[in-house]
Amino acid sequence: MASSESKLRITDVILRKESHMKAILFDLDGTISNSKEGITKCVQYALKSFGIEEPDLDKLDVFIGPPLVDSFMKYYGLSEEQAHEATAKYRERYVPIGMKECYMYPGTKECLETLKAQGYLIGMASSKPESYCKIILEEFGILEYFDDVVGATIDGSIRTKEQVLEEVFCRWADIPKNEVCLIGDTMFDVEGAKFVGVDCIAVP
């Protein structure tokens, strides 16, 4: 497995070979940002409000990537109503604390600079709420490299990677899908890309 230092440098090398690509979409969590600490501690906090103690943060890695509501139902048996309550509780800690418990993978800014200099259109497609994505990218000092940032909505009307990507192509309607590539780190990125008909590069 590649180290975090080389994660997006590998992506850069691959894209140089994919000369037909004109636009690149990046996932956020696990691709640009190592956000494990913030996400898992906020999930732990939300579960505790339901009387569920989960001391092992590694078990909560499954929450990194997919929509929170779906994960609370799938992994902890919460009803849909409870899952929405748990998501609200998650955000209660995430906004003031958890959002800052992350770091950008080394080499990311250099990769974005290179791709931008090569003339690529750069966007973000994340299942994290769009407003949160923009705050994090701004904190990392890389928001300026993104032509558009597309994420989930707080009300849940857009929450899956498929829905996020559909929103991307509502905004990028003039860009052929065969010239767009999604870069992500989970099966949700791969499956979402397949659903909308774009290539996907999976980073380790």
Answer yes or no: are the C-beta atoms of 143 and 134 closer than 8 Å. yes
Give the dihedral of Cα atoms 108, 112, 118, 122; nearest 10 deg: 130
Residues 6+ apart with CB under 8 A from 46: 72, 86, 87, 89, 90, 93
Judge whether 70 counts as a catalytic residue. Answer: no
Q: Please pick, among 12, 27, 147, 199, the residue that the annotation labels catalytic.
A: 27
Q: At what angle do helices 68-76 and 36-48 cross, to 10 degrees?
A: 60
Amino acid at 20: H
Give the C-alpha separation, 18 to 99, whole Å: 34
The token pair that represents 73 in the structure block: 């139902």
Burial (CB count <10 Å: 0-12, 13-18, 19+), residue 77: exposed
The string of DSSP codes covering 144-202 is GG-SEEEEE-TTSSS-SHHHHHHHHHHHTTTS-GGGEEEEESSHHHHHHHHHHT-EEEE
d(CA 161, CA 152): 8
Catalytic residues: 27
